Amino acid sequence: MSRYIMVIDTRRCVGCHDCVVACQTENNVPAGYCRDWITETARGEFPTVQLEIRTERCNHCANPPCVYCCPTGASHIHERGGVVLVTHDKCIGCKACLAACPYDARFIHPEGYADKCTFCIHRVEKGQDPACVSVCPTRCMHFGDAEDPLSDVSRLLASRPHHTLLPEAGSKPRIYYLT
C-alpha cells in the first residue's frame, strides 16, 4: 500500500512562484485562482529575524475532514497513494469541504465544483512527478512514497528535522517542511 507525500526544503525555497505557475498551466486552473501558493513567515525583531518561505497546497491528509463531511462521496481518497481527490460530477457545491479544511486549501471552481491540488495524479500514474516538483529551480520539492524506506522522501524525513502545518488540527497532513 503506497502513501504519497511531499517533502519541501524550506532552506532552499526562495518563493519564486514557479510551482504556482506550473500548477496553473498543467491543470488549467482558472485565472484568479490558485491550487498552490507561497507563504512567508517572519519572526522576531531586527537584528534577530527568522524567515521561513513555504510553498503550500492541499496536504492530502491521512485523516481528511473534507472527505468525512462530503454528503455525496465526491470528496474521496484515491485507491493509490492516499491522495485526496474530488469527483467533479458528484460534487453539488455545498462548500462543506471548504469549511472543513483547516488549511483553506480548497476553492469553488467557476464551473461549480470544489477544486484543489490533486498531487497531479494524472502525471504520477504515468511515473512522472507533479508539475510543481518538476519545475522547481532550486529542487526544494520532493515527491514520493512514504511506505518505501528507500525513497527520497523517506530518507529526507529520516535525516532532517521537519514539521507539518497545524498538527493540532488532527487531520494528519502529508506535506512535510524541512527546517
Partner 1 sequence: MIEFTTSRHNPGIDPTLHLWGWEIPVYLFLGGLVAGLMMLSGYHILRAQWDRDRAHGHYVTAPILSLVLLSAGMLTLFLDLEHKLYVWRLYLTFEIASPMSWGSWILLLVYPALVASTLLTLPDSLPRLTRMVPPLGRAASAFAARPGLVHLTGFANLILGAMLGIYTGVLLSALGARPLWNSALLGPLFLFSGLSTGAATLHLLAHLGPRAKRDDGSFGDALTSALVHWLRPPEAHTDGNRKLAQADNSFLTIEFALLALFLGGLMTSTEAHQAGARLLLSGPWAAPFWVFVVASGILLPLVLQFLQAQRRIQATVIPALLVIGGGLALRLILVSAGQASHWSIALH
Contact residues: partner 1, CB under 8 A: 17, 20, 32-34, 37-45, 56, 65, 68-74, 89-96, 98-104, 106-108, 111-113, 163, 165-166, 168-170
Closest CA to 134 of 54, 59, 22, 32: 22
- Positive or negative torsion for Cα 30, 32, 33, 36: positive
**Residue 54: CB minimum distance to partner 1, A:** 9
**Cβ closer to partner 1: 14 or 42?**
42
**Cβ closer to partner 1: 98 or 121?**
98
**Residue 32: CB minimum distance to partner 1, A:** 7
**Residue 55: CB minimum distance to partner 1, A:** 10
Taking the C-alpha atoms of residue 74 and residue 70, their distance in angstroms, rounded to an integer, is: 7
The residue length of the chain stands at 179
**Residue 79: CB minimum distance to partner 1, A:** 18
**Residue 171: CB minimum distance to partner 1, A:** 8
Closest CA to 103 of 52, 75, 147, 65: 65
**Cβ closer to partner 1: 31 or 158?**
31
**Residue 145: CB minimum distance to partner 1, A:** 26
Ordered DSSP codes for 12-51: T-----HHHHHHHHHTTPPTT--SSEEEEEEEEETTEEEE
**68 with 55: CB under 8 angstroms?**
no
Distances (CA, A) of 48 to 36, 42, 43, 163: 30, 10, 8, 22
Sole residue written with cell 512522472: 128
